[in-house]
């Protein structure tokens, strides 16, 4: 506008009608004004340019304007830098580019770039792209567009060095691929196979392998290699391959750019590398707990300047390989141990069953299925009560309750019902399984089929029953004859030995009768035929009487009775006498050196407790329950080879339990034992 205004004024003031200057003065004036106008325009131009420069210089992206150079056939062959901003040099790594051409600066710059810029200069079509520039060794994000007169063939380029981001992305992608590939692998050798191939492809190397270090050897199980190279999979003693020892000793990535020239190798190692065409390589030792576990090796047949990120990637790969190999190994070991365990469990002659706390079956072995005649799947869908014989439910539930509430293992003999309805006897050892909080989580049952033993036992009981019954009548007669004989003898007319022998015979007959009655009682108990004549009695009198009788049989022991006022109990006098005889005679028998025997009776809140204490050989802890079993005896020299058949305590406990009472023992070996039982006090309401 200023321009226009000045022009009009000059027309008005200095020009004549024919357009010529009217005077020199006015001419000079015009000249000065024109000069001023030019200066003003230059100032404006300068300001605008300065503003542009300021703008470009403040960009954090690189910016340059280039003139694209073409050959005669209009093929773009080079470009010249016309203008660059402040960060240009930092982003592109070229110093003083102005006025120079790219071919001058980097002759190996790829053709691709010249073609692209030529296309933009000719067509005016701008382009946005991310691309690798080999000569500059960088990745660029570029926006290029034509500027100025198309005839000038100038292109402006806005660009950013994204090498770090790109490498990070590539690394991430590689690690993702590696992880994906490794996730599904459970074989350590396969792991090595996959890793080496992936790393070889990604790093563009000629060979990649992972050696496992085991007992002084480097073992390469799988390797990846260029088609024209041989595999190096083998076992190498570390002592024969000093390069591996060198890597292990280095303890960190061992990087060789060029085996011909590196100072890292001595002559011997250099020769070795050259022979095996390992011209440049990165070897990563994997060291765990101060001992070497593996080495990952990536090798090229040409010199190579390994970048920091490549070394880092190899290190990361080595670490992941080790982890994956270890995991695969652990999984393999677990699988093997599971197979072993499965084989043992399934070949066991015992049935094995795992049940949840609700009684649901969780696991059965083959033998358990065979014992019950069910398929495994059928059992797993059932509650355990379906296979327990109904009469044993209550006993079973009580024992299981103890396991759940107190974590107590137990042993039980009970019956199972097979699928087709047959009943089998089993001996079950039931143990708790605890969770990691220490709570009972489930139970494992080891079950042995004892049906056959039970049948043999039944036959034995039957035999004992018949035999003792058949023996009872003749022996009773013999006892009577003996007593008659003893009464008939005129002691003065027979020699003294005769009388002594008769007395001994009668004593032996008494022992025999006792024995036969024990056997008879046992078979009665087994056949549930032990009958009781119950009546309310006071135990004090009975106890005193049996203490007195017991004392008659020994001169080495002193048997004392300590009683108190007792309430009555409901009892069979004869059976209770039998119990007391047994306990007192045991106290005498198992205290062979003599000493005190104390029989005590006391009333304890609704129960009467009777105990027999001796100071004899005592009973080891592990036998204290077993002595109440049929025919169980402790073979201990300290008892002085006492005679007996191990039925006394069994019968005693049965008698007491038929009286609704309990019998037990407390004992310390070499100090003595206290056998006791408790009976409920009799009340009128009973
Ligand atoms: P027996 O005396 O005929 O062997 P019992 O059933 O009476 O049969 O006893 C079983 C076992 O218990 C005995 O063999 C003995 O080892 C042990 N026993 C019983 N009473 C005592 C006791 N008072 N002191 C030590 N051991 C005993």
**Beta carbons of 523 and 631 less than 8 angstroms apart:** no
Helix intervals (H) in 144-183? 163-183
Centre of ligand 1 from the C-alpha of residue 673, in Å: 10
Please give the Cα distance from 232 to 317 (Å, whole number): 19
The per-residue pLDDT for 237 is 87
**Beta carbons of 579 and 543 less than 8 angstroms apart:** no
The per-residue pLDDT for 372 is 96
Chain-centroid distance, C-alpha 57: 62
Best of 649, 668, 669 for a ligand 1 pocket test (most atoms within 8 Å of beta carbon): 649
Centre of ligand 1 from the C-alpha of residue 478, in Å: 29
Centre of ligand 1 from the C-alpha of residue 126, in Å: 110
- The strand pairing partners of 650, in sequence order, are none
Q: What average pLDDT does the segment 648-666 reach?
A: 95
Best of 525, 596, 611, 633 for a ligand 1 pocket test (most atoms within 8 Å of beta carbon): 633
- The strand pairing partners of 145, in sequence order, are 156
**Within 10 Å of residue 482's Cβ, how many Cβ atoms?**
18
Diameter over CA atoms, the chain: 202
What is the band of 1 on the pLDDT scale with cuts at 50, 70, 90?
very low
Please give the Cα distance from 283 to 178 (Å, whole number): 19
Does the pLDDT of residue 363 top 70, yes or no? yes
Which atom of ligand 1 sits closest to the CA of residue 672? 24
The per-residue pLDDT for 641 is 62
Centre of ligand 1 from the C-alpha of residue 517, in Å: 18
Reported as a single tens digit per residue, the pLDDT across 273-299 is 888 889 999 999 998 888 888 999 999
What is the band of 85 on the pLDDT scale with cuts at 50, 70, 90?
confident
Q: What average pLDDT does the segment 129-143 reach?
A: 88
What is the band of 12 on the pLDDT scale with cuts at 50, 70, 90?
very low
Q: What are phi and psi of 447, to 5 degrees?
A: -120, 125
The per-residue pLDDT for 21 is 52
Closest residue by CA, ligand 1 atom 13 = 633
The per-residue pLDDT for 13 is 46
Closest residue by CA, ligand 1 atom 23 = 587
Chain-centroid distance, C-alpha 215: 27
Does the pLDDT of residue 5 top 60, yes or no? no
Does the pLDDT of residue 398 top 60, yes or no? yes
The per-residue pLDDT for 33 is 85
**Within 10 Å of residue 32's Cβ, how many Cβ atoms?**
10
CB-based pocket (< 6 A), ligand 1: 586-587, 590, 614, 616-617, 619, 627, 632-634, 639, 644-650, 673
Reported as a single tens digit per residue, the pLDDT across 167-187 is 888 888 888 988 888 887 888
Which range is least confidently modeled, 47-61, 408-422, 463-477? 47-61
Best of 614, 625, 637, 646 for a ligand 1 pocket test (most atoms within 8 Å of beta carbon): 646
DSSP string computed for 303-329: -----HHHHHHHHHHHHHHHHHHHHHH
Give percent of the chain with pLDDT exceeding 90: 54
First-to-last CA distance in the chain?
133
Centre of ligand 1 from the C-alpha of residue 580, in Å: 14
Write out the E strands in 75-206. 76-84, 127-133, 138-147, 154-161
The per-residue pLDDT for 16 is 47
State the number of CA atoms in the 13 A half-sphere of 233 facing the CB.
10
Best of 522, 588, 634 for a ligand 1 pocket test (most atoms within 8 Å of beta carbon): 634
What is the band of 636 on the pLDDT scale with cuts at 50, 70, 90?
low
Please give the Cα distance from 117 to 110 (Å, whole number): 12
Centre of ligand 1 from the C-alpha of residue 563, in Å: 25
Centre of ligand 1 from the C-alpha of residue 516, in Å: 18
Reported as a single tens digit per residue, the pLDDT across 507-524 is 999 989 988 988 888 888
The per-residue pLDDT for 637 is 52
Report in angstroms the alpha-carbon separations of 257 from 82, 279, 282, 306, 311: 38, 8, 9, 7, 12
Does the pLDDT of residue 17 top 70, yes or no? no
pTM assigned to the model: 0.51
The per-residue pLDDT for 14 is 46
Centre of ligand 1 from the C-alpha of residue 632, in Å: 8
Give percent of the chain with pLDDT exceeding 70: 93
What is the band of 20 on the pLDDT scale with cuts at 50, 70, 90?
low
More confident residue, 54 or 513: 513
Q: What are 490's two structure tokens?
A: 């005129």
Reported as a single tens digit per residue, the pLDDT across 424-473 is 999 999 999 999 999 999 999 999 999 999 999 888 888 888 898 899 88
What is the overall mean pLDDT for the chain?
A: 88
Does the pLDDT of residue 235 top 60, yes or no? yes
Reported as a single tens digit per residue, the pLDDT across 581-601 is 999 999 999 999 999 999 999
What is the band of 531 on the pLDDT scale with cuts at 50, 70, 90?
confident
Return the closest-CA partner of residue 152 out of 87, 79, 101.
79
């Amino acid at each position: 506008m200023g321009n226009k205004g000045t022009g009009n004024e000059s027309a008005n003031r200095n020009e004549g009608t024919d357009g010529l200057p009217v005077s020199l003065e006015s001419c000079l004036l015009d000249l000065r004004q024109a000069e001023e106008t030019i200066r003003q325009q230059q100032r404006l131009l300068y300001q605008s340019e300065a503003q542009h420069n300021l703008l470009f210089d403040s960009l954090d992206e690189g910016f340059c304007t280039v003139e694209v150079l073409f050959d005669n056939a209009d093929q773009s062959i080079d470009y010249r830098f016309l203008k660059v901003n402040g960060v240009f040099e930092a982003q592109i790594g070229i110093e003083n580019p102005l006025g120079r051409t790219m071919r001058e600066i980097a002759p190996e710059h790829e053709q691709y770039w010249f073609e692209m810029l030529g296309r933009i200069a000719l067509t005016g079509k701008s382009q946005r792209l991310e691309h690798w520039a080999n000569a500059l060794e960088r990745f660029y994000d570029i926006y290029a567009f034509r500027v100025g007169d198309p005839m000038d063939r100038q292109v402006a380029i806005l660009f950013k060095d994204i090498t770090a981001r790109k490498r990070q992305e590539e690394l991430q992608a590689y690690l993702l691929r590696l992880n994906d590939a490794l996730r599904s692998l459970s074989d350590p050798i396969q792991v090595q196979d996959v890793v080496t191939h992936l790393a070889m492809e990604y790093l563009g190397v000629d060979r990649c392998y992972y050696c496992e270090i085991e007992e002084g050897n480097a073992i390469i199980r799988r390797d990846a290699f260029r088609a024209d190279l041989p595999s190096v999979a083998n076992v190498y003693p570390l002592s024969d391959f000093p390069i591996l020892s060198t890597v292990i000793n280095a303890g960190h990535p061992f990087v060789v750019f060029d085996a011909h020239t590196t100072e890292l190798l001595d002559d011997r190692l250099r020769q070795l590398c050259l022979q095996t065409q390992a011209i440049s390589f990165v070897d990563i030792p994997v060291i765990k707990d101060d001992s070497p576990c593996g080495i990952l090796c990536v090798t090229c047949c040409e010199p190579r300047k390994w970048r920091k990120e490549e070394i880092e990637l190899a290190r990361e790969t080595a670490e992941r390989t080790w982890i994956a190999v270890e995991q695969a190994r652990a999984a393999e070991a677990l699988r093997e141990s599971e197979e072993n365990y499965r084989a043992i469990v399934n070949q066991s002659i015992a049935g094995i069953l795992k049940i949840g706390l609700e009684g649901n079956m969780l696991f059965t072995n083959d033998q358990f299925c065979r014992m019950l005649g069910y398929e495994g799947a059928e059992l797993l869908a059932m509650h355990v009560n379906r296979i327990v014989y109904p009469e044993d439910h209550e006993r079973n539930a009580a024992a299981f309750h103890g396991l759940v509430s107190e974590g107590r293992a137990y042993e039980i003999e009970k019956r199972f019902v097979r699928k087709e309805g047959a009943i089998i006897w089993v001996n079950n050892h039931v143990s708790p399984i605890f969770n990691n909080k220490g709570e009972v989580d489930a139970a494992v049952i080891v079950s042995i089929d004892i049906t056959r033993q039970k049948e043999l036992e039944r036959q034995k009981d039957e035999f004992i029953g018949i035999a003792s019954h058949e023996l009872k009548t003749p022996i009773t007669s013999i006892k009577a004859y003996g007593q008659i004989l003893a009464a008939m003898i005129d002691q003065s007319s027979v020699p003294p030995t005769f009388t002594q022998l008769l007395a001994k015979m009668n004593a032996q007959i008494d022992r025999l009768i006792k024995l036969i009655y024990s056997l008879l009682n046992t078979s009665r108990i087994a056949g549930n035929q032990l009958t009781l004549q119950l009546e309310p009695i006071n135990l004090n009198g009975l106890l005193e009487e049996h203490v007195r009788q017991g004392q008659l049989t020994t001169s080495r022991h002193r048997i004392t009775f300590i009683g108190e006022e007792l309430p009555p109990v409901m009892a069979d006098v004869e059976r209770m006498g039998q119990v007391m005889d047994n306990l007192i005679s045991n106290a005498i028998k198992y205290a062979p050196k003599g000493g005190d025997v104390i029989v005590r009776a006391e009333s304890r809140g609704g129960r009467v407790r009777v105990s027999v204490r001796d100071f004899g050989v005592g009973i080891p802890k592990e036998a204290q329950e077993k002595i109440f079993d049929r025919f169980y005896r402790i073979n201990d020299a300290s008892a002085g080879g006492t005679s007996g058949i191990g039925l006394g305590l069994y019968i005693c406990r049965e008698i007491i339990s038929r009286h609704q009472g309990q019998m037990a023992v407390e004992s310390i070996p070499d100090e003595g034992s206290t056998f006791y039982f408790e009976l409920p006090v009799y009340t009128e309401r009973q």
